[in-house]
Amino acid sequence: QVQLVESGGGLVQPGGSLRLSCGASGFTLEHSAIGWFRQGPGKDREGVGCISSSDGSTYIKNSMRGRFTISRDNAKDTVYLQMNSLKPEDTAIYYCALLDPGSTSQGMCGPGLGTWGQGTQVTVSS
């Protein structure tokens, strides 16, 4: 069974940092394009960014650029979302998802393939 699993969420003070991890069960992430998404309380789900499997390029949504970065460690079969300078408005459930690898490259995020993790809660509060 193909599954994605997020971890690393928690409670952090404003200005703090968290690193979220996205792992896989039933397949490897090395050749997978991965997107990060989030859904805050009472808000629609929004894209955070993505990482390509073909050229290693990443994309971060403008509103989070400079604070968030996406990377992968193929040896650990994990994709990371590093979040710095966190703000209360970053409070959300964060999800990783498989994206179409053929169209996720050169800083562009392709469409989802319908495989999502269960999400990990991030709460930014003093």
Residue 5's pLDDT band (boundaries 50, 70, 90)?
very high
Q: What is the pLDDT of residues 78-120, one digit of tens each?
A: 999 999 999 999 999 999 999 999 999 988 999 999 999 999 9
Contact yes or no for 124/12 (Cβ under 8 A) = yes
Cα(84)–Cα(16) distance, rounded to whole angstroms?
6
For the chain, the maximum distance between any two Cα atoms, rounded to a whole number of angstroms, is 42
Residue 2's pLDDT band (boundaries 50, 70, 90)?
confident
Q: What is the pLDDT of residues 29-76, one digit of tens each?
A: 999 999 999 999 999 999 999 999 988 899 999 999 999 999 999 999
Contact yes or no for 2/27 (Cβ under 8 A) = yes
Cα(122)–Cα(37) distance, rounded to whole angstroms?
12
Residue 1's pLDDT band (boundaries 50, 70, 90)?
confident
The dihedrals phi and psi of 43, each to the nearest 5 degrees, come to -120, 160
